[in-house]
Structure 1
């Protein structure tokens, strides 16, 4: 077993939208193609990319991680079932890396890890979700995955009517749960921003028949404690599905304080990129395993090899995998959710093209989706994404 070749590129993931913290008008993504030969005359090419919110990593990929990956070969790459073992390749990529410093390198490694898992499933002739279920869950895979439509971003000229029209489109696509951004009025006093966001929330809730369990709100880490508490008090009567990333992702003590005062579900974790960061959140963030949601994105956090370790850590601390709903809205996390029994997955029906969204032939019904039976992750069945990846 050996890694025969690795090719990479940089492509735009630009969208004329913004959340409470950043705009995405100049966002880029790394894409890679990794070809693996199994020594028995078979080869497979897997594809990977980084999901939204982080930029392309060409320097890290070309200077450190691709050269190390090309050195990976032999028994370290062979799983007990005879197939490709991405953990062996991961160990080669991380050779000579010091502990800590998990920021951008976790993205570069995650891009390559995704491609390795795609190749592993293709060599096995299975969808990735089936390979994961067979290796780690005794063959048990979920029949469908719960997904929600993430949108409600800010852009110039977007008012209440446009927001409601957008959310109605998601309902027409088959989603029953949606998410919108809040906290994105820069320079506005907290009381005025809150008034504006309450009007936006109530407009969407009217569309949803007043059912707060069908609406999530996302702050993208913009608030300090005062604003987070003020918003939390205002949101509580609506009984929303969750209040997402209200605080800086690494401010664990402040999360713990918020959790003492906000009884409804809190969701966070999409900007934590390692097992160690995730463990610190669980130890010190005051989150509650009976209601809160963990959104670690495997594509940004060293890949599935690290995510498997994170899931083991969570179970040791009393957390079910069902509390995990990955950020990113991509097919990689969707396969993981089905194969490993997570609580669901994010979906981007209209933004972050072509990386957001799933295979073309997978309709959404009541915010659930059934996986296609295709070898690998299934990128080839998403025409707009495949048009980008096949160029590698």
Structure 2
């Protein structure tokens, strides 16, 4: 087999504005301000064979410029290397910046490069990424989150839920964690009534309950036949999540805020989740996600990756146990392609790689970029 070589890496820092400031429980507790934009780091890798790969990471609120700066420092390590050797290249990149750690911002910057390498490899093979990884299915159950934030009036949440269902979404998640718990219960009750019995409904407290509140509200929420309660406690309270999972019939889902495979391993060891929710850009890319997926499958955990459906669709399709995929329409303006929905599921595209190309709008929202050639 001929050896290929990486000739160029293009990095772009892109700011995606949100049409309406977004609030979840972290805003209502005063820990964060409403979110007005999402910062993206795009990596485009080109090899001498002419094949190209596209990857991205992101940051909500602070961190975007830091990810871009770190990626710019370590990207030269890729030039001249064979893009097929993804595991070795991940190690090379992480050791290039090891003094600032092997998790968090440093590996989130590497994630964009890692994902681009996987996209390039699948494109070179002429296969959708899911097929390259070994797909178990050609579509994935899909639930919507973007229509159910706490800042959204209840009437609009209900209309959003109806519209999502009619569009082909298979589940609805709404935010909870309002300072007045009666508001949460009223909203959940109304959405359940609108959707009817049996339609998948999830709630997400975004880490803002303490243990007594989570137990009390968890018991109250049992009446609504929820698919899961997400992040009821602080992301690192593994013991608290484990106790809650043991006490409630409703499954507990968490993991999106953990920043490495090692952190997820601690959560799994503690029995803190019925459903694990890793985020490939947050834990270092696809290379790390695959390690975590193998561990999760070994423990027979359900999988529901967080955000970035454009990446996670392929990874969920390759997970042995039937997973869920989170639908956000926020990222659609960044790409020329659209993902398709049918009968509550998102279809894996038949285009090679991730099947994505950057749009003119992504170029218009670019605030900084560079090209690394050696």
d(CA) in 2 for partners of 1:340 and 1:381? 27
The equivalent residue for 1:137 is: none
User: Out of 163, 180, 186, which is 1:199 matched to?
Assistant: 186
Partner of 2:77: 71
Could you tell me which residue of structure 1 aligns to residue 165 of structure 2?
171
Match of 1:363 in 2: 340
Instruction: With the length of structure 1 as denominator, give the TM-score of the two structures.
Output: 0.82
Q: Find the residue that maps to 1:207 and give its secondary structure.
A: helix
Structure 1 position 222, deviation (Å): 1.0
Distance 1:100 1:232, change over 3 A: farther
1:319 equivalent to 2:300? Answer yes
Where in structure 2 are the equivalents of 1:226-265 lying within 5 Å? 226-265=212-251
TM-score, normalization by structure 2 = 0.85
Match of 2:195 in 1: 208
Label 1:201 to 1:384 Cα distance change in 2 as closer, same or farther (>3 A): farther
Q: Structure 1 pair 94/303, CA: closer, same or farther in 2 (3 Å)?
A: same
State the partner residue of 2:372: none
In the alignment, the residues of structure 1 paired with residue 66 and residue 59 of structure 2 have an alpha-carbon distance, to the nearest angstrom, of: 18
2:307 equivalent in structure 1: 328
Shift of 1:23: 4.7
3-state SS in 2 of match to 1:94 = helix
* Structure-2 separation of matches of 1:142 and 1:368: 11
Q: 1:385 to 1:99 in 2, by over 3 A?
A: closer
Q: May I ask how many residue pairs the two structures share in their alignment?
A: 355
Instruction: Tell me the CA shift for residue 34 of structure 1.
Output: 2.8
Unaligned runs of 5+ in 1: 79-83, 134-139
Any unmatched runs of 5+ in structure 2? 27-31, 370-374
Structure with bigger strand share is 2
- CA gap 1:66/1:221 in 2 versus in 1, 3 angstroms: same
Q: What SS does structure 2 have at the residue aligned with 1:154?
A: coil
Q: Which residue of 1 aligns with 2:41?
A: 31
Residues 105, 294 of structure 1: CA spacing in aligned structure 2 closer, same or farther, 3 A cutoff?
A: same
1:387, 1:375 → 2: CA distance?
A: 26
RMSD of the alignment, in Å?
2.7
Q: CA 1:306/1:99 → structure 2, altered by over 3 Å: closer, same or farther?
A: farther
| 1:5 shift after superposition | 1.8
* CA 312–339 in structure 1, closer or farther in 2 if over 3 Å, else same: closer
Which position in structure 2 is the counterpart of 1:46? Answer: 53
Match of 1:344 in 2: 324
Q: Within 1, Cα distance between the matches of 2:17 and 2:212?
A: 33
Is the CA contact (8 Å cut-off) linking 2:14 and 2:42 kept in structure 1? no
Distance in 2 between the 1:310 and 1:163 partners?
Answer: 34
